[in-house]
Amino acid sequence: MPITKKYKKIVIGNWKQNPTTHEAAKNIVKHIKKTASELKKTITVLCPPFVFLQNLGKGEQPFSKGAQDVSVFESGSHTGEVSAEMLKDCEVEYTIVGHSERRKAGETDAMVASKIKALHFAGVTAVMCIGEDNRDSGGQYLDTLKNQIKHSLAGVEKKNLSHLVVAYEPVWAIGATQAMSGADVHETAIYIKKVLADLFGHEYVVKVPILYGGSVTFRNAGEIVKEGHVDGLLVGRESINPEGFNEILKVVDAL
């Protein structure tokens, strides 16, 4: 499901390296399905670890399937890697790239760019994560964001921007106790849009959804999306807590 006139918002659950068993994965899906099927304006995307992708079911579902990473290679001798075509074959529609936890493990902007191109070639939407480690009063973090956007999108074609989502996740707000304020999210989202427009032209980027991620709960979800003027959320911890995630979905859909 792409963002359309009808589906205006998108909430992505990044399960990270959770849960431990197939049974538990199935249980999460079971508890989210009903709420997801009742949403009027919001797309739900679930990104489990690769091994649980099949647990999300086959065919029509009230949510879209997502992955947390992808290989830069098409196929061949790359032990441990999973290709974009394999994900496509598992009915994956969205894939997270450049998450700060992967960047910490060595993923560079150049690798992110290769992954996005591999996803586009396979027809999968890339969810490109960007975010500064810290905020400084001199505004240096804005350059960090600009460089990440520029280099992670190097060689990406304008015509494929319909298959791009940008997730702004300030690293300091991930796994924290407090999310960023809606007003600060808004300011940063404007900046991200401006950088994208300077690179590709306004007409190509108006439809690129901008999401916020970092300590999102049902308590702050509404304020972040409304005051932050973003197109949705990338949720970590609360995405494996069905009750909390369902509430986030409902809050966003009611906006």
d(CA 177, CA 255): 24
44 binds ligand 13P (CB under 6 A): no
Helical pair 242-253 and 221-228, crossing angle rounded to 10 deg: 30
216 binds ligand 13P (CB under 6 A): yes
What residue spans of 91-241 are helical by DSSP H?
Answer: 100-104, 109-122, 140-152, 182-200, 202-205, 221-228
Instruction: Compute the least distance from the CB of residue 159 to ligand 13P, in Å.
Output: 27
Q: Which is nearer to ligand 13P, 93 or 238 (CB)?
A: 238
123 binds ligand 13P (CB under 6 A): no
The DSSP letter of residue 55 is G
178 binds ligand 13P (CB under 6 A): no
User: From the list 232, 236, 242, 244, which residue makes contact with ligand 13P (rule: CB under 6 A)?
Assistant: 236
Cβ neighbors of 138 (< 8 A, separation 6 or more) are none
215 binds ligand 13P (CB under 6 A): yes
Beta 64-67 vs 42-47: how paired, if at all? parallel
174 binds ligand 13P (CB under 6 A): yes
Asked if 69 and 97 touch (Cβ cutoff 8 Å), the reply is yes
Q: Is 202 a catalytic residue?
A: no
Q: Which is nearer to ligand 13P, 39 or 216 (CB)?
A: 216
Q: Which residues make beta-bridge pairs with 45?
A: 12, 64
User: From the list 66, 182, 213, 244, which residue makes contact with ligand 13P (rule: CB under 6 A)?
Assistant: 213
Select from 21-29, 154-162, 196-204, 229-237 the region that touches ligand 13P (CB under 6 A): 229-237
User: From the list 175, 183, 190, 202, which residue makes contact with ligand 13P (rule: CB under 6 A)?
Assistant: 175
Find tokens 């992967």 and name the residue. 102
Q: How many CB atoms lie within 10 A of CB 79?
A: 4
Cβ neighbors of 133 (< 8 A, separation 6 or more) are 144, 171, 172
Select from 18-26, 29-37, 168-176, 241-249 the region that touches ligand 13P (CB under 6 A): 168-176
Q: With CB under 6 A, what is the number of residues at the site for ligand 13P?
A: 13
Q: Is 132 a catalytic residue?
A: no
- What are the residues binding ligand 13P (CB under 6 A)? 14, 99, 169, 174-175, 213-216, 234-237
| Residues classed as catalytic | 99, 169
